[in-house]
Structure 1
């Protein structure tokens, strides 16, 4: 029986014991990891604490060809925004949809807007509000 050698062949698996190269790779990895964490934190902050607009439907009133919607809420100063409102008929078919804009000077929103419909709407639904 022959005995197997426990040493690896020289030069076959790269340099072993090059501590300077290992340290350099660890420093580069730590710097890149820290930069990635800062970038993720920056995006998270702007997503959570960014400009906001918060509006809800207070009341609505329907007629044959329109729906009057009373929107109330608030938004950050200096931010333009819009809200999308839709109305549906009794059978669930969408009969109207429109965006209503709010200028940058407005902070408190308390407006009655009119949504034109193709037939009598039975609902008024706020689909969402967006900055921009």
Structure 2
């Protein structure tokens, strides 16, 4: 089914949610399948997002992001007021090569860790 979606085109992203599947089952998917999906996505200029509990696409993946479990925020002593989230860029397949050409504008700085906070509705405003 994923092959058909990728080859048909017209989709900017295809998301495969395998997060609830046990690691021993997702690791049975042949590595050639992930490479085939990647090649089809590159031809149609689509993105494939694979959501799993562990890395299973191995070297065919462009990017590996690791979400850390959220930490409960307790701004008040007895009530959970939100969650603090964390994301880490663990692996990137292609990195920018250094060059001697100086850009006119300051280049964006590379970040490998992102943290943000969410707030529950019962905790009130910002």
When normalised by structure 2's length, the TM-score is 0.27
When normalised by structure 1's length, the TM-score is 0.26
**Structure that is richer in strand per residue:** 1
- Higher alpha-carbon Rg: 1
